[in-house]
């Protein structure tokens, strides 16, 4: 039987671990036989030494095998899901799941919560009165069968090794490791049982991957893991220098998502959503036009049905913040830049996000982008509206936004929102 200290030394010194060693390590850690401090040391060794492709395949497979794998065979429609690596104002999942379902696919969207400057899909939807994130597996599959889409939390039986490893990486400075990110995301998606998967890998100031080369490597790694596990997988690299859409927060993003489902969404949000929808439908083998489903009301009706199926009231008023302040333009000119990370941090400080997984979030806090890059502003014009239930939060939010606005005499050059597509050759 392997020994944890032996494996720590081996990976520290650059030796590739065998498949048997990796299977033992993940199983022993999940069962509590390997201590947190030992796994912390091994994660740091992986951070510096990396994992070879064979090691990463074995690591991911071991994480999948640490729990159950959902059986979606009872779902009659082709299954396809989407995962985003996280951004600011990224409410795409709220629109995409019912949109793609209205085109004939089944979308089992197991989502997460926000951490730091990036928002979480479950936090956003929990601003809808009555909506439930936690569904038993049988109920989740029934909603998927009946509605065609479900957005809910992953149950405790799904890749439990990842649940423990993610919490450990968060407190040991090992989050930004491409093999560990890739195995974390893909183990959950493979265990979810979907037949196809589209990855939205964010790139830029508001993304975890700020550099294109790192984002491309992460996308290629995840696409490879998906195909090796029998999941048809593709990735789009999309820009996250500027918040997506005009709303950043929880209830405010739900409001914008519903507006988009009514055919009234901001152009950047619609463009990214439709690009991902087309990719999902292609992988599912469906010939359908998602743009038509946005304009004819099918997607909105599917959203309302999904919300109701999970206990929510799609007609209930969303929470509204008690207080608001604005950030104004210091000069007249063209808004050339709006730093996505700064806006995300401001929303977090207003109460929309959390520093630790157990922290509560405010449903009503957030930031509205009253102007976006490419638009002309005048000195003193309100560019951002900050919302909070607690007035004491405004000061630190304003600090986060210092330098976030770039105003100049010329409009910014056009930059693509969808940068690149990656699929296995």
Catalytic residues: 83, 162, 169, 184, 188
Tokens read off for 312: 């929510």
Q: Alpha-carbon torsion 56, 61, 63, 69, what sign?
A: positive
Buried b (16+ CB within 10 A) or exposed e, 343-382: bbbbbbbbbbbbeeeeeebbbbbbbbbbbbbbeebeeeee
User: What is the number of other CB atoms lying within 10 angstroms of the CB of residue 37?
Assistant: 11
Alpha carbon 340 to its chain centroid, in Å, reads: 15
Nearest to 124 by CA among 158, 101, 149, 151: 151
Q: What is residue 18's DSSP assignment?
A: P
- What's the CA gap between 215 and 221, in Å, rounded? 10
**Which residue, chain included where needed, has tokens 């690149």?**
420
Tokens read off for 220: 């290629």
Residues whose CB falls within 8 Å of the CB of residue 55, separated by 6 or more in sequence, listed in order: 16, 17, 22, 179
The helix (H) or strand (E) run that includes residue 385 is strand 382-388
- What's the CA gap between 93 and 253, in Å, rounded? 11
Tokens read off for 313: 């009231």
Nearest to 92 by CA among 205, 199, 165, 176: 199
- What's the CA gap between 161 and 157, in Å, rounded? 10
Residues whose CB falls within 8 Å of the CB of residue 278, separated by 6 or more in sequence, listed in order: 290
**Which residue, chain included where needed, has tokens 């007609």?**
315
Q: Are the C-beta atoms of 335 and 369 separated by less than 8 Å? A: no
């Amino acid at each position: 039987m392997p020994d944890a200290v032996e494996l720590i030394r081996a990976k520290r010194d650059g030796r590739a671990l065998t498949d048997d060693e990796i299977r033992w390590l993940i199983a022993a850690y999940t069962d509590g036989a390997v201590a947190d401090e030992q796994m912390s040391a091994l994660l740091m060794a992986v951070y510096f030494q990396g994992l070879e492709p064979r090691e990463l395949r074995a690591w991911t497979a071991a994480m999948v095998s640490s729990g159950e794998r959902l059986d979606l065979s009872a779902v009659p429609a082709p299954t396809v899901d989407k995962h985003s690596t996280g951004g600011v104002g990224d409410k795409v999942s709220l629109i995409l799941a019912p949109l793609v379902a209205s085109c004939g696919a089944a979308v089992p969207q197991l989502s997460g919560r926000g951490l730091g400057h990036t928002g979480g899909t479950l936090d956003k939807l929990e601003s809808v009165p009555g909506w439930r994130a936690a569904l038993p597996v049988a109920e989740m599959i029934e909603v998927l069968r009946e509605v065609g889409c479900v957005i809910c939390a992953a149950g405790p039986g799904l890749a439990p090794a990842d649940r423990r490893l993610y919490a450990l990486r968060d407190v040991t400075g090992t989050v930004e490791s491409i093999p560990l990110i890739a195995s974390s995301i893909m183990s959950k998606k493979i265990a979810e049982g979907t037949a196809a998967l589209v990855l939205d890998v964010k790139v830029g100031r508001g993304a975890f991957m700020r550099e294109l080369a790192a984002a491309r490597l992460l996308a290629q790694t995840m696409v490879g893991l998906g195909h090796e596990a029998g999941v048809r997988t593709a990735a789009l690299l999309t820009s996250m220098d500027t918040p997506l859409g005009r709303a950043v927060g929880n209830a405010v993003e739900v409001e914008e998502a519903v507006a988009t489902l009514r055919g009234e969404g901001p152009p950047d949000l619609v463009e990214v959503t439709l690009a991902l929808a087309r990719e999902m439908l292609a992988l599912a083998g469906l010939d359908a036009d998602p743009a038509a489903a946005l304009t004819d009301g099918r997607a909105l009706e599917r959203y309302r049905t999904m919300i109701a199926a999970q206990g929510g009231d799609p007609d209930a008023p969303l929470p509204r913040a008690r207080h608001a302040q604005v950030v104004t333009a210091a000069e007249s000119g063209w808004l050339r830049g709006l730093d996505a990370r700064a806006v995300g941090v401001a929303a977090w400080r207003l109460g929309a996000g959390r520093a630790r997984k157990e922290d509560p979030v405010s449903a009503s806090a957030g930031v509205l982008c009253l102007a976006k890059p490419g638009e002309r502003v005048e000195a003193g014009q309100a560019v951002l509206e900050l919302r909070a239930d607690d007035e004491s939060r405004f000061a630190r939010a304003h600090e986060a936004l210092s330098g976030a606005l770039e105003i100049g005499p010329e409009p910014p050059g056009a930059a693509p929102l969808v940068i690149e597509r990656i699929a296995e050759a």
